[in-house]
Amino acid sequence: MLIVDDDNLKVRMHVQAGINAVAEGNLFWILSDIFAPIFEYDPDKEWIEYYVKSGISFSRTWPDGVTGYGKASFVASYTQGTDPYDFSNTGRITLEEAYIGARKTFDDSVELDVSVGPQELRLGTGMLIANGGSSGFERGALKFGPRKAWEMAAIGRLTHGRTKATAFYLDPNEMPSTDNRNQLAGLDLRFDAEKGGYVGGTYVHILESDNPYPQVVPGGSGAPTIVENAREKLNAVGFYARTNPLETGFGSSFIGVDAAVEWNDRTDMLAWAGRFQAGHTWTDRPWSPSLTYTFKTFSGDDPNTPGQERFDPLFYDGNPSTWATGSKSSMTFINSNVQAHELALSVKPTARDKLTFRYAHIRANELRSPVQFGQATRLDIGGVNNVVTGVTDPYLADDFFVEYSRTINPNTFLTAGLSASLPNEGLNLAAGRDLPVWYGGFLNLVVNY
């Protein structure tokens, strides 16, 4: 919303708001009845989420070609009812963005841009660096996740033609109740092709962190140990690439590849992850159907080695269309010690309507190794009592998700979804019985100006 517009100064107001009604049944496949019965967890939940994000931004250009800019915004969020993590009727108002910056173009192809303050930063496809803010829990709006900005960021960008180098220092906006005092810095280099493809790489170094890691005991027989401050001094290198749209007689195709390696000499850590995507859109067919196949894999801690191989997903984008592993399962399995084969089929009955079907087949990479922080550690009674970590069969679950979205007008968006997760042998054996289907649905409306 442009409120001031003259030759050198522009000031805009920004308002975004949303309401989301959610219902879940058999949450977490009712594993709480087996592993934590004393808490009497209710696996059926219904709640409503609300959020408002509002702010103001400006840009001013001086005669020497320097443009100054900045933005300030806040997020107010609330959860009415009880969410999956048993937080009820709670919310917070927090600062979102508060940054200033300047950019200057030196000739037709070179631009320098520097900024400092709380702001958003997403690199590559969002595999490692995307979500700088935490929502849900005491802040409310768990599913919406309206906070994206880092609590503090210093960013420098140098662009030459279609090549961009980005240097950054980041301090994430963590939940006060679980603040692990992370600080990180790094560099991203990216080249964008003329017709939409790209290739790039990211280096990340964790300057400080209190984040612990679970580490499997030798052979996986016994409870995992907890390595304090294990993330500190972590190094990560990520690679990402996507082809230009490949035009064929049947429409348009693409191929995408992501890979990452992490290491930390302090903890004898070496971990890896990767993703392959291929998709096709039949642009000449009614409803423009689009089919995408994704395979992604994230290393787990090998119980047969003394080192740490558990991949740390850092601050990844948890959207179902990007880096979430499954629909329901992504609430339980972070991108560590899992792999998934995924299919997404989308159709557009009209220019305003889109229907997407998603399927994910989810497996563990390492048996008897943590799939989630402390997940599936249990007592196996078979003659001799034995603590088992992780799962003993790799087949975890199959997730199904149907999503409908409608653009009501250029500023108003309606989305509805139904999803289900069918547990398989890995989870059933861990539980010692056949688990029920975890199911749920939502309906939300978002207005954005």
Burial of 273 (0-12, 13-18, 19+ CB in 10 A): buried
**Between 396 and 36, whose confidence is greater?**
396
pLDDT higher than threshold 90 for residue 258: yes
Note the pLDDT tens digit of each residue in 107-160: 878 999 999 999 999 999 999 999 999 999 999 999 999 999 999 999 999 999
pLDDT higher than threshold 50 for residue 347: yes
**CB 409: neighbour CB atoms within 10 A?**
8
pLDDT of residue 417: 97
**According to the per-residue pLDDT averaged within each range, which of 333-337, 385-389, 416-420 is highest?**
416-420
Query: Residue 169: pLDDT band by 50, 70, 90 thresholds?
Result: very high
196-211 per-residue burial string, b: 16 or more CB within 10 A, e: under 16: ebbbbbbebebeebeb
Spatial CB neighbours of 327, under 8 Å, sequence gap ≥ 6: 320, 358, 360, 399, 400, 401, 419, 421
pLDDT higher than threshold 70 for residue 328: yes
Report the alpha-carbon distance of residue 150 to residue 174 in Å, rounded: 9
Q: How many CA atoms lie within 13 A of 152 on its CB side?
A: 7
Note the pLDDT tens digit of each residue in 394-426: 999 999 999 999 999 999 999 999 999 999 999
pLDDT higher than threshold 50 for residue 377: no
Instruction: Give, in words, the CATH class of 2-448.
Output: mainly beta
Task: State mean pLDDT over 50-74.
Answer: 96
Query: Residue 383: pLDDT band by 50, 70, 90 thresholds?
Result: very low
Q: Any idea which of 4-13, 268-277, 349-358, 401-410 has the lowest mean pLDDT?
A: 4-13
Report the alpha-carbon distance of residue 327 to residue 398 in Å, rounded: 9
Task: State mean pLDDT over 181-209.
Answer: 96
Query: Residue 36: pLDDT band by 50, 70, 90 thresholds?
Result: confident
pLDDT of residue 385: 38
- Look up residue 369 and give its two tokens: 């190794």
pLDDT of residue 33: 87
Burial of 64 (0-12, 13-18, 19+ CB in 10 A): exposed
pLDDT higher than threshold 80 for residue 376: no
- To the nearest whole percent, how much of the chain has pLDDT over 70? 96
